[in-house]
Amino acid sequence: MKNIMMIGYGAMAKEVLSRLPEGVDVGWIVARAAHHAAIDSAFGGKVQALTHPDHCTGQPDLVLECASQQAVAEFGEAVVKRGWSLAVISTGALADAALQLRLQQAGRQYQGRVIVLSGAVAGMDGLASAREGGLDSVTYQASKSPASWRGSLAEKLIDLDKVSEARVFFEGSAREAARLFPANANVAATIALNGLGMDATRVRLQVDPHTRRNTHRLQVCGSFGEFHIELSGNPLASNPKTSTLAALSAVQACRRLIDGGFIA
């Protein structure tokens, strides 16, 4: 049996916990104290609710972050310094160059690892491979419903109540997108980390009142040739800002604990 530590107890974390593969169990959940009673109730006291990873006295096989960019910044370094493997879904946190450097240095010094999950997008293996031969351009466009953009900076850039057709409301770098739209633009950061980097990856964010899905379009050109990917994913019913596929990528990270990434 493999044991994981979960950071977060929101919509995505609960979705992942409900889908844990056989052979993987959760031993610890890092969450705000206000959630601890609910965790104790949900797991019958068999899961240790923590406010910080440092309070863990055991040895998780994987620490899975399904919380927020803030959680990566708050807990990431502590996890890596214990020599543990940290799988990150909120990759936009790594748009903070100083944080990324600290995590890299901690990994080298303490033999910990940071695993960048693919999240809500596909083709990251191909993008990383293409990078080895040299990339000329990487462009990413996200298109989501008005509901998916509510509570974000988009509300100040466009009237989400009156938009009647698909419209791009932001264009910039992956670093800018990840910082300005922390709940929506982790995909931009994931693509940047596998490709040209935060500043050279171009991002367009679009609102589309005629869709209920989150659509991700990726265009990559380089010495290998070029490829185009379009993925139209269903958002989580409990959180329209989050794609179901992002939660499934975290489930897949857990499955790799027991099958080593090999599927017969």
Q: Are 126 and 227 a contacting pair, CB within 8 Å?
A: yes
| Alpha-carbon gap, residue 234 to 249, rounded angstroms | 14
DSSP label of 12: H
Cα distances (Å, whole numbers) of residue 169 to 156, 188, 253: 10, 15, 33
Q: Where does 2-134 show beta strands of DSSP type E? A: 2-7, 24-30, 48-50, 62-65, 85-88, 113-116
C-alpha 51, offset from chain centre: 21
Residue 8, token pair as written in the block:
């977060």
Q: Are 163 and 207 a contacting pair, CB within 8 Å?
A: yes
One-letter amino acid at 190 equals: T
216 in catalytic set: yes
Within 10 Å of residue 213's Cβ, how many Cβ atoms?
16
Burial class from Cβ neighbours inside 10 Å (0-12, 13-18, 19+) for residue 155 reads middle
Given the residues 52, 55, 210, 216, select the one marked as catalytic.
216
| Alpha-carbon gap, residue 245 to 29, rounded angstroms | 22
The number of CA neighbours under 13 Å toward the Cβ of 184 is: 30
With both helix axes pointing from N to C terminus, report the angle between 186-194 and 124-131 in degrees, rounded to the nearest 10: 40
Catalytic residues: 216
